[in-house]
Amino acid sequence: MVGFGEIGRRCAALFAAFGCDVAYSARTPRRDGTARFLPLRDLLKTAEVLVVAVPLTEETRGLISAAALSTLRSGALVVNVSRGEVVDETALVAALRSGTVAGAALDVFATEPLDQGSELRTLDTVLLSPHIAGGSATARQRIYSMTADNVARVCARDSPRWTV
C-alpha cells in the first residue's frame, strides 16, 4: 500500500483477511496489526501488488515514476485508486509494454475521462474502470451527513470540521 489513510487501511485489512503479507508506506507510520511500515524504496522492491491510495499533492504528483516502476519486482501489478497524476501514465505504459509491470488496474487517469486514443486502452494487461465509488448511495449519505454537521457547527459559532 502506498498511503495508509482510511482507504489504504481498509484495503490492507481486506488483503490481510486473504492471508496476504501486507506492508505500507506513508508519511507517518501507524500502529496497525494488519500491515507493517516500510520506506517507499523498500516497499517498491518487495511489492507483488502495489496499491496506490494517496491524495494528489505536490509531494505525490508523479510519485510512481519511471524510476519507481523500474524498482518493482518482476511480475508486479499496479493498482491506482488515488488520483491519475500520482502515477506517471507514460512510464506505466512503457513498464507494461516491457513486461517490467505485469498488469495494472486503474480507476483514475491524468485526464478524465480517459482519452479514447490512450495507449492504456490498447493493452490487454490493463483493467480500466470509472472512478465511481464516491457515487454510491452510502458515499452520498456520508457526504450529506458531513455537510449537515458542518452547517450545524457553523450555526453554533463553532469551527467547521471539514473545509474545502
Q: Which residues are catalytic?
A: 83, 112, 131
- What would the grid cell of residue 105 be? 488496474
Q: Whole-angstrom distance between the N-terminal and C-terminal Cα of the chain? A: 26
Amino acid at 128: L
Can you name the residues that pair with 23 across neighbouring β-strands?
36
Question: In sequence order, what DSSP letters do the residues of 8-41 get, joined into one string?
Answer: HHHHHHHHHHTT---EEB-SS----TT-EE--HH
Contacts of 163 (CB under 8 A, 6+ apart): none
